[in-house]
Structure 1
Amino acid sequence: MLKVQLIPWERWLFLHLGELNPDGTLRFRKALVIVARQNGKTLVAAILAAFFLYVDSVRWAQIVNPRDFVIVGAAQKLDIAMKPWTQVRQWGGPDDLKVGIAYDRVALLQAGTRMPRMVNGETELVTLEGSVYRPRTFEGARGYSSARLILDELRQQYDYEGWSAIEKSATAMFDSMLLAFSNAGTYRSVVLKDVREIAHESVEDPDAEWFLAEWSAEPDAPLDDPRAFAQANPSAGYLPGMTIEGLMRTARNAKNKSLERIEVLCQWVTQNVEPYIEPVDWKDLQVAPSKVKVPKGARTVWAVDTSADRSTTWVAAAVETEDGKPLVTVRTKRAGIVWAVEYLKALAEESGHREVALQAQGCPVIELIPLLKDAGLTVHEMDRPTCAIATGQLHDRVMRDRALVLTEQPDVDLAIEGGLATQYAENRLWSREKSKPVDIAGVCAETWALYALVNLEPEAKADPPPPPRAAVLQSSAHDGPSEESLLSTAF
């Protein structure tokens, strides 16, 4: 009906995920599917969501009213959850989309679907019987009692507070199912780790509620083993342009090897020395530059930092976007140090923003302070305690609050992967020395720029000088010519 040609792993998955008990109920109430990225998880999720919405929703109509059959598709970010929903809308939505191609439209499904709703933050697709499919964030998924809950990237559930509520919401109804997709995780992916272990332990139990399907490379497989890539990428050789050779070439050229192991080989990466900021969390905050909207004239703070060996200097910027979140990005990096003065001066003259933040203690960049001031720039000199506070604030915005906007920058991403922090009093401070051979000066510059933007006030503009007093016409007491000579008059 959907005119989708399944490839072997997808067909296997649908057949076994949908196994039934003798009474017709689902054999599995919870399911975990682990497979590397770019293998078609979005299409798999869309096919399942369409089946749930148009078929499963009326299978037990005498027990569960279709109007109570709610499908929630959830992810860490709403745009990820929207992808399968958009595909289902292309199949069944009766509205004329301006995207997609002809065979995406399925007349039979369109005839049974109401107009999609996308107003006031509420997005949903509803059938004529009343069953509904809603895309939500993980946080938003906690408020619904769902007949089917489809989660993407379970590895991003870092604690049980959110997971417990989500799990309960998906198991409260008759014949319900919780389905989670993910690739491998890190030491912080506690929910995925525990769920995977539970599923493995019950694999021989005929009454187990967990279904587990995993495509992953062996834990010790190297990045030059074609068999490892085949194990984790069952779509290779089937999807256009996806080959084992291509995957290996990309991994070989990637600077972030840990991320490749997680996302392409589905290997769990455990490190003896953990980076201060988890690379996966950093990557999750990245958006396409075209989606970044910055108000015209928004205050911008520049920052500068130099690598520990004085070889390279980095210039970064921080500015607030239209949605109120700060954006940090590296503007440039070059060999040497002194060039940064003229570069920052040019940025200031072009933009009108003259604030520059830097670490003012114990690092090579301090030699720029008098030069920047002589150039007429406002210099925010940050001592080591302040830099430690700034380091902690960046960590919290990425790892806890998700309150930061980033764009993909390979050099900075590599620095995050290898970036270590040292203890400073009760805080943590970026350590260029401990992070070697990785140069984290770009991350340091972004950290100082962010702190100055959020916490420091711009230099107050000097009051303009008062206007001169108005001229007053005064008349002389003498009606005739003066008897005094200019030669004798004192001024």
Structure 2
Amino acid sequence: MAATSQASRRGQTAAGQAKKKRPKLYGKEKPRVFTPPLRPLEPRSPETEQWTLGYDVIDFAEEVLKITLYPWQKWLLVHMLELLEDGQLRFRTVIVLIARQNGKSTLSQVLAIWIICVWGWPLVLGTAQDLETAEEVWQGAVDMVEESEELSPLIDKVVKVNGKKALEIIRDVEDFRQAKKRSKTRYKVKAANRKAGRGFTGNLILLDELREHQNWDAWGAITKTTMAQVEALVLALSNAGDVTSVVLRYLRQMGHEGAGDPDGICQSGEDLLPDVIDLGMGKNDDPDDEGYDEDDEWEQEPDTLGLFEWSAPPGCSKWDRDGWAQANPSVGWNPGFTERTLVAACKTDPEWVYRTECLCQWSDGVLEGPFPPGVWEEGQNKPEVGPDGTTRIAEEDKIVSDVTVGLAQSSDREYVYMARAGYRADGRAQVELVAARHGTEWTFGYLMSSKRRDSIKGVTGQSKGAQVSALMEDLAEAKDDPELPFDVPVVPWQGTDLTNGWARYMDFVTEKKLRHHKQPPLDLAATTAVLKTFSGGATIPDDKASPADTAPLMATVAALWLLTRRDDRELPPPPPPAAVKSTDLDTSYGNRSIGTTAGQAFTSDISSIGF
């Protein structure tokens, strides 16, 4: 009787579970945000096939590589390889945002193989933030070619030397001068750094995890390999980033603008260009600046940029199944990637880790930094929209006093950052980045320009132990130049003044006494800096340990220190000498071996630190 009862209960439980069982979760084929096509590209027909190369790649994957692509991969290939009326690719830069483990690598491998084996572009260059990742994607493509009966005979050689890996293909192609000619194509890999791709002329550039690009060095080096090519494509694939993802944030904002700004991220007035920081001091307003515009180095043509973003909508619950399907288009289609996988991650991951990794949602900040969470953002000025619809600095957010200038140089000596500090009409201090340029020589003319000189009270930067120290020495000596004397007062910044300057800066930020514009180089440095602590408890940003260059931050710290420094800081007179016996005197004074106090030793040590 008991056994029958238990069996009955099990049957009822199973029946109840069957009624409550949810339908299987399948990822969505179409991205939530995307650049709209110029004309319909679906469904497949002779008419739509003539406007994209995507269907050719899909057929190649299935018939030659024996790979069945997921629906989202097919959709992406059709739309990202859209053609113009003259037969050229519409996009030269494509940004794909998608949650982790959804098949980005397979997509890039299939495209790379088709490009070198079928389409015949001479060079595919694969990159990632670390070389090992780029080589892993490359190795997967090599395996696909070697396992294909049709493609393996095309292999000329496979170079597997670390750091020089390459797949070289020999193709027979028709030529109007002769029946056939031999053509060699290559797929190489490089690490994503400022030297990547230099010396090469690339056609297809694959950038994996663009979110890790925290400056523009690698992007500039890699993508410029396509400049001389009539046909070329830069394909960047990534998960969502955060405030440190400088390159991806800028390109994503441009893509959202082209898609109609569905999330409202283009209405914030935030300018994400890396070096658009001449605010209030007059950009390109002196003869030395004529014809020079750093924006041109990074600006993207909106008509040639395509964005395709699979992400959960802003503000959704982390348990939103529809959001899961929107950010994870491979879920359900990939037998190993199920809803249960996402449930487990949602239960165990910290919320913003899960939102970034599994929902492809952007975090407005980082989890750690030198200031309490949210304090730095509270000090940011909000731009206003002018009558012509453009954003501008509000009158109440402008410096009205004379200013002090701070200088700092990046750890690779690539950039010198210049900041100024002054007072607003409401009496609060404000810091601003005003310029960031290559080299050091430009600083002389910039500071001495008739547009600025009268408002500058002085300039400072770390005088010892830093990259900028040589420049500070040159500025100090330039006052005696007979041809063009530099008459801006140069104030040394060293010793305990360094840590005192940082302590004051932290106090101003946390006490909400300091205002600043929303400037990506400064925001990145200020929200990610790692502090170095000395034995006495004093701290200062540590450039070597920080994930981003701290120079933009230290330039503003120097400017604020000089602004708030007392001009009449005269040391009190020394106390009268105490009476001593002649036998107590140190007779080695003439040989400079007089003892130092503990305080003097600390000052000497702190004066040599870098940041």
TM-score (ref. length: structure 1)? 0.52
Cα distance change of structure 1 residues 273 and 114 upon mapping to structure 2, 3 Å threshold? closer
CA contact (8 A) 2:82 2:90 kept: yes
- Once residues 258 and 204 of structure 1 are traced to their aligned partners in structure 2, the CA distance between those partners, rounded to angstroms, is 26
Counterpart in the other structure of 1:24:
87
Cα distance change of structure 1 residues 389 and 145 upon mapping to structure 2, 3 Å threshold? farther
Counterpart in the other structure of 2:123:
70
Structure 1: tracts of 5 or more residues without a match: 59-68, 94-104, 278-382, 402-425, 427-454, 456-491
Cα distance change of structure 1 residues 275 and 242 upon mapping to structure 2, 3 Å threshold? farther
Counterpart in the other structure of 1:211:
306
Deviation, 1:38, is: 0.5
Cα distance change of structure 1 residues 258 and 132 upon mapping to structure 2, 3 Å threshold? same
- Once residues 302 and 366 of structure 2 are traced to their aligned partners in structure 1, the CA distance between those partners, rounded to angstroms, is 39
Counterpart in the other structure of 1:141:
196
Deviation, 1:242, is: 1.2
Task: Identify the match of residue 122 of structure 1 among 135, 147, 164.
Answer: 164
- Once residues 246 and 29 of structure 1 are traced to their aligned partners in structure 2, the CA distance between those partners, rounded to angstroms, is 36
- Once residues 354 and 186 of structure 2 are traced to their aligned partners in structure 1, the CA distance between those partners, rounded to angstroms, is 37
Residue type of the partner of 1:130? K
Query: Sequence identity, in percent?
Result: 32
- Once residues 369 and 209 of structure 2 are traced to their aligned partners in structure 1, the CA distance between those partners, rounded to angstroms, is 21
Counterpart in the other structure of 2:473:
none
- Once residues 228 and 203 of structure 1 are traced to their aligned partners in structure 2, the CA distance between those partners, rounded to angstroms, is 20
Pick which of 200-209 and 147-156 moved more.
200-209
Match status 1:263 vs 2:305:
no
Deviation, 1:41, is: 0.7
Match status 1:13 vs 2:81:
no
Deviation, 1:109, is: 0.9
CA contact (8 A) 1:92 1:106 kept: yes
Counterpart in the other structure of 1:406:
none
CA contact (8 A) 1:217 1:229 kept: yes
Residue type of the partner of 2:165? T
Cα distance change of structure 1 residues 391 and 36 upon mapping to structure 2, 3 Å threshold? farther
Number of aligned pairs?
Answer: 275
CA contact (8 A) 1:29 1:210 kept: yes
Residue type of the partner of 1:237? G
Counterpart in the other structure of 1:170:
226
Cα distance change of structure 1 residues 224 and 203 upon mapping to structure 2, 3 Å threshold? closer
Cα distance change of structure 1 residues 52 and 398 upon mapping to structure 2, 3 Å threshold? farther
- Once residues 50 and 270 of structure 1 are traced to their aligned partners in structure 2, the CA distance between those partners, rounded to angstroms, is 37
Q: Structure 2 matches for 1:283-432, cutoff 5 A? A: 385-386=534-535, 396-397=544-545, 399-400=547-548
Counterpart in the other structure of 2:16:
none
CA contact (8 A) 2:244 2:548 kept: no
Q: Structure 2 matches for 1:451-490, cutoff 5 A? A: none
CA contact (8 A) 2:196 2:218 kept: no
Cα distance change of structure 1 residues 162 and 241 upon mapping to structure 2, 3 Å threshold? closer
CA contact (8 A) 1:187 1:270 kept: yes
Task: Identify the match of residue 180 of structure 1 among 236, 239, 258.
Answer: 236
Residue type of the partner of 1:209? T
Structure 2: tracts of 5 or more residues without a match: 1-63, 171-182, 262-300, 372-531, 550-560, 562-608
- Once residues 389 and 135 of structure 1 are traced to their aligned partners in structure 2, the CA distance between those partners, rounded to angstroms, is 44
CA contact (8 A) 2:128 2:207 kept: yes
- Once residues 34 and 272 of structure 1 are traced to their aligned partners in structure 2, the CA distance between those partners, rounded to angstroms, is 19
TM-score (ref. length: structure 2)? 0.42
CA contact (8 A) 1:149 1:179 kept: yes
Deviation, 1:241, is: 2.3
**Counterpart of 2:308 in 1: which secondary structure?**
strand
Cα distance change of structure 1 residues 120 and 183 upon mapping to structure 2, 3 Å threshold? closer
Q: Structure 2 matches for 1:47-58, cutoff 5 A? A: 47-57=110-120
Deviation, 1:118, is: 1.7
